[in-house]
């Protein structure tokens, strides 16, 4: 994937920017990702696959209580041992293997040092993360943005739902297409990317599909954008 986004027309850029302003006005800063260290963010990004954050919090607490939220301690465990601590996150055997895959990658390429990994150029590091079995685009970009402070926009199911609702059906064919839409419309600002994605998640949680037409939907007035 090229991290140099293609041109986007003015109307689309206006809507993407206006949605951010409206969401921020409605919800304020989200202060996301909730974690104590970059390494904890990475662990959480892997554990949150196919589950909700409340379940991940329980798994994170289990690891924290055993002082396992540092590379050296977690890397010393087998996948089977890790799985016993992360059961609340669901699919714990699969996720334990994915964590081990990442830990092996971090050990082999960066001697277990997250700060060293963060010093790598964005494009190269993203390709490296995507080569790790069990890490897809959303997880890789969550790690890059939230743990390593790289200016890359995270896309998820909430993002696609938001785009479809506001007339961007043709731009939702792939993860890359949706990501390029945002990155073409916004300045490469890590803090904004962080806040925007968190706001979209907040919106998606508050206004499920069956509630989206309700009177309190923050983006209900499409004329505001069009």
In the prediction, which pLDDT does 220 show? 59
In the prediction, which pLDDT does 207 show? 78
Most confident of 1-5, 189-193, 210-214: 189-193
Residue 202's nearest CA partner among 169, 148, 163, 159 is: 159
* The CATH classification of domain 38-147, taken from the options 3.40.50.300, 1.10.340.30, 3.40.640.10, 1.10.10.10: 1.10.340.30
Residues 131-168: tens digit of each pLDDT: 999 999 999 999 999 999 999 999 999 999 999 988 89
- Going from N- to C-terminal start, the domains of the chain cover 10-31+153-224, 38-147
Residue 83 belongs to what H/E stretch? helix 79-85
CA distances from 221 to 164, 182, 205 (A): 15, 21, 19
In the prediction, which pLDDT does 214 show? 47
What percentage of the chain reaches a pLDDT higher than 70?
88
Place of tokens 């938001």: 162
Asked whether residue 226 carries a pLDDT value surpassing 90, the answer given is no
141 contacts 39 by C-beta, under 8 angstroms = no
Residues 87-117: tens digit of each pLDDT: 999 999 999 999 999 999 999 999 999 999 9
Average pLDDT, the chain: 90
Tokens of 143: 């790690």
**What distance in Å separates the CA atoms of residue 46 and residue 156, rounded to the nearest whole number?**
14
pTM here is: 0.89
Say if residue 33 is preceded by a cis peptide, omega within 30 of 0: yes
**What distance in Å separates the CA atoms of residue 98 and residue 137, rounded to the nearest whole number?**
14
- Reported confidence tier of residue 205, pLDDT bands at 50, 70, 90: confident
**What distance in Å separates the CA atoms of residue 86 and residue 125, rounded to the nearest whole number?**
27
In the prediction, which pLDDT does 10 show? 86
């Amino acid at each position: 994937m090229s991290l140099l986004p293609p041109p986007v027309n003015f109307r689309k850029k206006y809507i993407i920017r206006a949605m951010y302003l409206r969401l921020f006005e409605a919800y304020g800063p989200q202060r996301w990702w909730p974690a104590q260290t970059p390494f904890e963010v990475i662990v959480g990004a892997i554990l949150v696959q196919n589950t909700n954050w409340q379940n991940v919090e329980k798994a994170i607490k289990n690891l924290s209580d055993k002082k396992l939220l540092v590379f050296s301690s977690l890397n010393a465990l087998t996948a089977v041992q890790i799985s016993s601590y992360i059961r609340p996150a669901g699919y714990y055997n699969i996720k334990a293997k994915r964590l081990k895959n990442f830990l092996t990658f971090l050990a082999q390429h960066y001697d277990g040092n997250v700060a060293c990994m963060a010093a790598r150029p964005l494009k190269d590091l993203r390709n490296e993360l995507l080569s790790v079995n069990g890490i897809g685009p959303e997880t890789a970009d969550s790690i890059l943005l939230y743990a390593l402070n790289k200016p890359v926009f995270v896309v998820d199911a909430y993002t696609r739902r938001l785009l479809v609702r506001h007339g961007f059906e043709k731009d939702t064919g792939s993860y890359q297409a949706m990501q390029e839409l945002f990155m073409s419309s916004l300045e490469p600002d890590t803090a904004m990317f962080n806040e925007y994605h968190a706001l979209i998640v907040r919106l998606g949680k508050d206004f499920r599909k069956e509630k989206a037409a309700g009177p309190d939907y923050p983006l209900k007035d499409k004329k505001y954008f069009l």
